[in-house]
Amino acid sequence: MTTDRTTDRTGDRTGDRSDDRTGDRTDLAGAPPAPPSRRRNLKRVLLATALTLGLTAGGGCLWLDSTSEVKATGTAECTAVAPASPGAGTGTDTGSATRDRDAVCGVLASLARAWGAADADAYGALFTPDATYTTYVGTHYQGRGDITEAHRALFGGFVKGTKLADSILGIRFLGPDAAVVTSRGDTYEGGRPQELSKVQTYTLTREADGRWRIAAFQNTRRQPVMEKASFLLSPGTVPGAER
């Protein structure tokens, strides 16, 4: 009796398992093909949406860039810019202001010549010993030696064969021995560019030997798309010279 029960149980289990497996296989074999994956469809929708948004954004950027204009382009001839000072119009010695203006412009002209000649030593000599120099990518140099050696490397590498262009926006004297020059500037090869992509600030001091040198330089790359967008979103941010 024990044997029969064991056999029955074993047979039942084996038969049940065999039937279940066979049934499962039969069901799978006879099942219709699986529909397209929902994940694939979702990916396609997202890709199409991203492409549409990308094209729209790209077109918007092109429009912003093409409509971003600069009205205050500056003056290419530095000595043609009338110097401003806190004492202007109140008895300031016009002759002295003009001479100082010409001396400051001479420093910028010498800077351009040294750049064009790839002469790092002559370039560095136009800065004060403790001058600071900040590039448009945010690199900050401290001291004449640092500025000189950095430009020695640049003249043999990234900016090799280039020239400097600038267009003066203004010259301000903050007393008898300090001046601030703002300009639009750029580097170039071949012909001078019509549009200059950077805005620059030079702070100059007259040192003990009577010569003007650059104490600080700040270079900022203009971002036409971002500038135009900010003007559209917040018209109050438009500078007076650009209205």
| DSSP code of residue 236 | G
Task: Find how far residue 62's CA is from the centre of its chain.
Answer: 17
- pLDDT at 11 (0 to 100): 47
- pLDDT at 70 (0 to 100): 84
Q: Which residue stretches of the chain have pLDDT < 70?
A: 1-37, 45, 48, 51-58, 60, 63-68, 86-93
Q: Which tokens is 44 given?
A: 């396609």
Each residue's pLDDT tens digit, 190-222 = 999 999 999 999 999 999 999 999 999 999 999
| CA distance linking residue 136 with residue 83, whole number of Å | 26
- pLDDT at 152 (0 to 100): 98
| CA distance linking residue 140 with residue 135, whole number of Å | 7
CATH ID of 78-221, from 3.30.70.2860, 3.40.1350.10, 3.10.450.50, 3.40.1190.10: 3.10.450.50
pTM as predicted: 0.72
- pLDDT at 65 (0 to 100): 64
Q: How many C-beta neighbours within 10 Å does residue 223 have?
A: 13
- pLDDT at 88 (0 to 100): 46
- pLDDT at 137 (0 to 100): 94
- pLDDT at 38 (0 to 100): 73
- pLDDT at 41 (0 to 100): 74
- pLDDT at 1 (0 to 100): 46
* Beta bridge partners of residue 170, listed in sequence order: 182
Q: Where are the domains of the chain?
A: 78-221
Strands of the sheet containing 127-134, edge to edge, are 140-142, 127-134, 212-221, 198-206, 178-188, 163-173
- pLDDT at 90 (0 to 100): 39
Q: Which tokens is 64 given?
A: 């912003």
- pLDDT at 6 (0 to 100): 47
| CA distance linking residue 79 with residue 102, whole number of Å | 6
| CA distance linking residue 126 with residue 215, whole number of Å | 9
Q: Which tokens is 171 given?
A: 């010259």
